Each structure stands twice: as structure tokens, then as C-alpha cells.
Amino acid sequence: MITVELGGDALASVRFALSPLMEIGTVLNQGRGPARHREGWLASAQDTMARRRLVLMACFMSQYHGYVPDFLNPEPAAYDPDLHGELHAVASTPAERVAAEMAGWVERIRRAGPRAEARARPVLDALHRGEDFFAAAVADELAQYWRHGFARRWPGVQRRLDADIERRSRAAGRDGLGTVLRRLHPDILWADQRLRIRSRNEGTIHESRGLVLMPSTYAWHAGVGVDPLGVRTVHVVYPAMAVPASAPALGDVLGHTRAALLGDLDVPRTTTDLARRHHLSPSTVSYHLGRLSKAGLVDRERAGQRVRYRRSLSNVVE
């Protein structure tokens, strides 16, 4: 059991966040989850890693022994941090942090036996080239996995995470933050200003500076990230609420990019907002919005110098 003490100031700093890299990290963490949970997406992840020869990521997944180094998942600097900024944070991780975290990973591998150590050889060899090289190599593989295996999934994943956070935020305003914390997951307990997360590890974080709550579409249980150096805020990952699918064939009719953009326009957004959220160029977004506008599926509204788009409520079938 991990216990996180949350006083008044810390409770005032509790926030939600979603992060592409954290979701990829959850894929690595859940590689040994229940078969019913892993079917489909795990095979897809393994196929991408094999095709792109992402040997470090494959090692982290196949040789998961209860820990993936935390530097792979930098603390989100905002609600929905920029992917490139997160990758830069991984690549520029201080050598001392890489060394400390990888020492823990290597120790777990060695305790698992010679066969595990042999299978972890790609990681061990890369580490021998230095911590700076290793961090850059890991960031490069994460970027490749994003481009070739995860980017197309992200719009749908992001909508589900946004929906989870929106529902819990409304509940916090209606019922209080304590009720939201108690309802996150059966593995998470809240009482007496202490958050307890069921874990194979034991420990207490005294006077936490805050808490970052992160839903995940791939997690099957709750998890907690604690920085042994005390620099990063404690984060808790929990399974996102299921949401009913809306217009499942819409992507086949409009194309998946336009369907993803349309699905993201339940609130007004600018071309720049959409380009950042969907990792597309502004010109590509502008083109698709033009087509959707001509079809009467989105409305334009001007706010000062900015033009914002919103899904037309009168023409979209739910």
C-alpha cells in the first residue's frame, strides 16, 4: 500500500491531466495484464515495435517486473502537454536521474534471473554507451512508436480521457473532491486526508506538494508514480470510464481525420487548437474544416480576431 498525505495546500493543487507519453507508458506497464484486457492492442503494439525495430521499448514491455523507469513519463506541465515538449523532456533527462532509475530497473532484471538478463541485453548495451545516449535513444523510439503505432489512435483515446475528466470535474463541483477521489477506482481509498493506493510496494509520502490524476484507456488497475528524488509531483493513473460510442460508422463516411476533428468540436476550437490537439498542420485542419463547413456539419463563429469552429448541433446524428 502506498499512502499519500494531502494537506490543505496539497489538496488545492490536485489536478487532472492527460498525456500521450503517459498513455504509451501505460501500454508498457500493462504488458503483463490479464489476457482479456491485452487482446488486440497488445498485439498491435508488439507488431509496431517489431516492424520498426524498437528494441528498447520491446524490452521494457517484455521484461516488465513491476517497474518502468519514470523518466519515460515526464510530469505533464499542463492539462494536455505538447508531445514534442514531452519527448524533449525525455531526451534531456539529467544523467543522474537516468542512472538512478535504470539502476533500479537493472536490479529487478538481475533478480529475475539469467534468462531475463539475456533478454534485456539491448537495454543493457545501450546503457553502457552512457546515460545521455540512452535517454536520446529512448526518446527516439517513443517518437517512432507514436508516429507508426499510436498517433492514429490518439484522437479517440483523447476524447475518452477528456470525457472522463469532464465528468469527474463536474462531480467535484457537485459532490466535492473527496467523493471524486473515493470513486476513482476500488484500488484507491480516501480518508483522513490520506490517499491510499493498493500496491505491491509499501511507503508513505509525507506532506505531498499536490497530486496529478491521470485517466488511462489501457490501465486495468490503479497505479501510482512517486519520484524518489522528490522533484516531481505524485501522479495516480486509473482506468478511464467507459463511454458509449457515438456514430460508429462516421469515420467510414467522412474519413477518420474529419470524423476525429468533428468529434472534437463539441466545444468551440480554433484551427490552431485543433492542429495542436490532433498533431496535424494548420493547413490540413483548415482544409478539412472547410469541407465539414460546406456539408453543414460545423458552424463558424468569430471572437475578436479569432475564428472558432463548433459542431453544428442541428445536423449531427448522435
DSSP annotation string for 179-204: HHHHTS-TTEEEETTEEEE--SS-EE
Q: Taking the CB of residue 62, how many other CB atoms lie within 10 A of it?
A: 15
Q: Which CATH class is domain 250-311?
A: mainly alpha
- Rounded-to-integer distance, Cα 207 and Cα 226, Å: 13
Sheet-wide strand order for 306-311:
269-270, 306-311, 298-303
Question: Predicted confidence band at 36 (pLDDT cuts at 50, 70, 90)?
Answer: very low
Q: What was the pLDDT predicted at 62? A: 79
Q: Which of 25-34, 149-158, 197-206, 216-225 has the lowest mean pLDDT?
A: 25-34
**CATH 1.10.10.10 domain locations along the chain:** 250-311
pLDDT at 79: 94
Rg (CA), the chain: 21
Q: Which residue has the higher pLDDT, 166 or 241?
A: 166
Contact 164, 17 (CB under 8 A): no
CB count in 10 Å sphere of residue 97: 19
34-48, 58-72, 224-238: least confident range: 34-48
Q: Indicate whether 204 pLDDT > 70.
A: yes
Q: Which tens digits make up the pLDDT trace of 86-99?
A: 999 999 999 999 99
| Burial grade of 11 (CB within 10 A; 0-12, 13-18, 19 or more) | middle
d(CA 286, CA 280): 10
How confident is the model over 18-38, as a mean pLDDT? 71
Residue with cell 497505479: 223
Exposure of 150 in the CB half-sphere (CA atoms within 13 A): 26
pTM of the model: 0.73
Amino acid sitting at position 310 = R
Closest of 134, 120, 147 to residue 90, by C-alpha? 134
Among candidate residues 241, 263, 251, 240, the one with its CA nearest the CA of residue 316: 263
For the chain, give the mean pLDDT: 85
The span from the CA of 29 to the CA of 36, in Å, is 16
Q: How many CA atoms lie within 13 A of 121 on its CB side?
A: 4
Q: What is the largest CA-CA distance in the chain?
A: 65
Q: What is the grid cell recorded at 114?
A: 539469467
